[in-house]
Amino acid sequence: MSADPLLPPARALRVGVAGLGTVGSAVVGLLSREPRRLGARAGARLEVTAVSARDRVRQRGVDLAPLAWEDDASALARRADVDVVVELIGGSDGPALTLARAALGAGKPLVTANKAMLAHHGAELAARAEAAGVPLRFEAAVAGGIPVVKGLAEGAAANAVHRVSGILNGTCNFILSAMEREGRDFAEVLAEAQRLGYAEADPSFDIDGIDAAHKIALLAALAFGTRPDFGRVETSGVRAVRLADIAQARALGYRVRLLGLAERAGAGLLQQVRPVLVAERHPLAGVDGALNAVVIEGEPVGRLFFEGAGAGAGPTASAVVADLVAIARGERMPVFGVPAAMLAEPVPSDPCARCGRHYLRLTVADRPGVLAEVAAALRDHGVSIESLIQPRATEDRPALLVMVTHAGAEGAVRAALGGIARLEAVLEPPLMMPILGDEE
């Protein structure tokens, strides 16, 4: 008779978890609820032996009584009964970085969901992991439960990737989707997102694009073999997007989405986060609510599309535990797909050289001659207008000019808008959003 495949394996992988927020508690809970199934897949019992968090008395919905507790998270790296450290503290520096360095310095594998730490210190930590001969895995740091890190580093390893783009922040996608679906303005939907827990009390990290920028820096490193460099990601968020923009985009056959983009452009690498008009036929246009999605384009595979829950306790814990299973199996790969010494310094590509169509929205005084002034500024910079819409102004809504340009250099559009912003009749900074998907 064959052995029961779900009998607990004799070998154990002992886990120390630092950070017991919603994700850390979910990781402990998942490992305790599913020991036989996960053990069969990992070839080892995945056992949490020690934890660390700031508050010992907070109720977390999991039984922590059998576990050792360390007030200093770095002490997990020194424990003889911890084989692998899971860092779920968060933050680019401070205790999270101290623990990461301590774990790798002690020769212990590290699993982290910390995109900020990796976006700022990823190359250093990758070199430390290689020097110690241990894995550093971070599937949960990008797009939650979607296995895009493994997909890029392993599944797409044979391909020459030329572009990675994606919806990488569920908060912003929830807001834009709700504005589109329900006809409500930004501030109202943001307040709802905060009530539902999709947005923090201070939502700046999400709505200003910083969270997505951390993630696209990591995807760029995986796709193009460069050092992750958050400082080189040109970043803007969704604060300036109005309901009028959503409506006009819809009328033109587009959806507004906050996208992270990394692509080869000439001899350099373009890394951006900004709101974009996405053609309805493009797969990213249909990504609704708090979901995330990533598109990988390369040769010879063509296009790969990943979609799923990008945040939340369950999806993120799923990704953390998947990394633990991979470590238990003995899977090894360079942290960013190539040896740390081969990670190239990213040479920024000039975004002004990028060619395409653009959506422009101006808020202007409702008086004669304004359109002529705007048209003259566009003409002087060689920007050609394909279509123009002027929604009717009301007492509670200022005059708007909405334009779509013909394909042209983005630098010319930026220069024209710089001049237009200085016109006395222009009441707010102009909004420019590139258009994606016309080539489909």
The 8 Å CB, 24+ separation contacts for 391-400 are 391/244, 391/248, 393/366, 397/244, 398/363, 398/364, 398/366, 398/427, 399/363, 399/364, 399/365, 399/366, 399/370, 400/244, 400/361, 400/362, 400/363, 400/364
* 345 DSSP 8-state letter: P
Tokens linked to 424:
């006395």
Sign of the CA dihedral running 215, 83, 100, 35: positive
Sign of the CA dihedral running 257, 150, 9, 65: negative
Strand runs labelled E in 335-384: 355-356, 358-364
Q: Identify which of 223, 216, 230 has the alpha carbon closest to the alpha carbon of residue 337.
A: 223
55 CB neighbour count, 10 Å cutoff: 8
Residue with the two structure tokens 């241990």? 134
Q: Is the peptide bond before 135 cis (omega within 30 degrees of 0)?
A: no
* Count of positions (residues) in the chain: 440
Q: What is the 3-state secondary structure (H, E, C) of 350-362?
A: CHHHCEECEEEEE
Rounded-to-integer distance, Cα 162 and Cα 147, Å: 19
Tokens linked to 181:
């679906």
Rounded-to-integer distance, Cα 261 and Cα 125, Å: 24
Contacts with 236 (C-beta within 8 Å, 6 or more apart), sequence order: 208, 209, 273, 274, 275
Task: Note if 215 is an active site residue.
Answer: yes
Rounded-to-integer distance, Cα 341 and Cα 106, Å: 21
* Partner residues linked to 263 by β-bridges: 163, 270
Residue 325: which H helix or E strand, with range?
helix 313-329
* Partner residues linked to 399 by β-bridges: 364
Report, as residue numbers or ranges, the catalytic residues: 215
